[in-house]
Amino acid sequence: MIVPYDMKHGITSENKLVRESDLVICTSKALFSKKSIQNDNTYFVPNGTDLNLRSLNKTITYPLHQKLDGISSPIIGYLGTVERRINYELIQDVITSNPDKSFVFAGPISENFVPELLYKMPNVYFIGPIAHAEVEQVISNFDVAIIPFKKDEVSNTIFPIKLFEYLSAGKAVIATDFNNDLEEYTEDSVYYCGDAVSFSVAIDEALENDSEQRKQIRKTLARKNTWEIRAEQISIILNSHLGS
């Protein structure tokens, strides 16, 4: 039995499953450190991307997505579920400090976690879930992409799929420093911030200093982290384990 281990399995009832599995693959080093104590056959393989593969070697211009129609640039975009992982205190401060920018949240909303104030801010837009076939288009319409997660024990185990989705579109990425694993895989191509002030500074810098060369560097980085490459890495692990 092989168990892909991510944060969703981080509850006590799953520990027995981890101990009794023949092989466990973790998507973060924090999980790997914990689960390798329970099972010697535990490995770390980070998440990857299969988006924008057509555009990795050339520039594709997407039209403005209909859900972004009427929203002024620059668009600072987040794509994913809007729920407990987001650092709402930080992002509210960032939004307040940047009234000249539009902050777009694309994805389903867990309303219990979203502060009421966020809905009332004039430069914030919740555009709802995006069909998978339209994700590339939406990301391509962002001027800067963000991952404003809170820094806690749960977030420390998250290697977000959206990271390489953003990079595969050539987008500048601003993230909080919620998981130190990410820096090793992003080669100084992502801004990591510890507070709202540095987050705002990073947004301004990304907007002012972006270039075609930087976009290509990000796409090259994404090319090193596709799901095809991850599948090869997992195959090596499987063959090594099964052959031992």
Return d(Cα 219, Cα 57) in angstroms, integer: 8
**Per-residue pLDDT tens over the stretch 195-244:** 999 999 999 999 999 999 999 999 999 988 888 888 998 898 888 876 65
HEC string of 79-110 equals ECCECCCECHHHHHHHHHHCCCCEEEEECCEC
Return d(Cα 32, Cα 139) in angstroms, integer: 30
Return d(Cα 231, Cα 154) in angstroms, integer: 25
* pLDDT tier for residue 6 given thresholds of 50, 70 and 90: low
Q: What is the pLDDT of residue 13?
A: 57
Q: What's the chain's average pLDDT? A: 88
Rounded to two decimals, the pTM is: 0.86
Name the least confident of 13-22, 52-61, 138-147.
52-61
**Per-residue pLDDT tens over the stretch 67-99:** 999 999 999 999 999 999 999 999 999 999 999
Q: SS3 for 144?
A: strand
**Per-residue pLDDT tens over the stretch 39-71:** 888 888 888 887 655 555 556 778 999 999 999
**Per-residue pLDDT tens over the stretch 102-139:** 999 999 999 899 999 999 999 999 999 999 889 999 99
Domain borders along the chain are 2-46+225-243, 53-223
CATH class of the 53-223 domain in this structure? alpha beta
Q: What is the pLDDT of residue 54?
A: 54
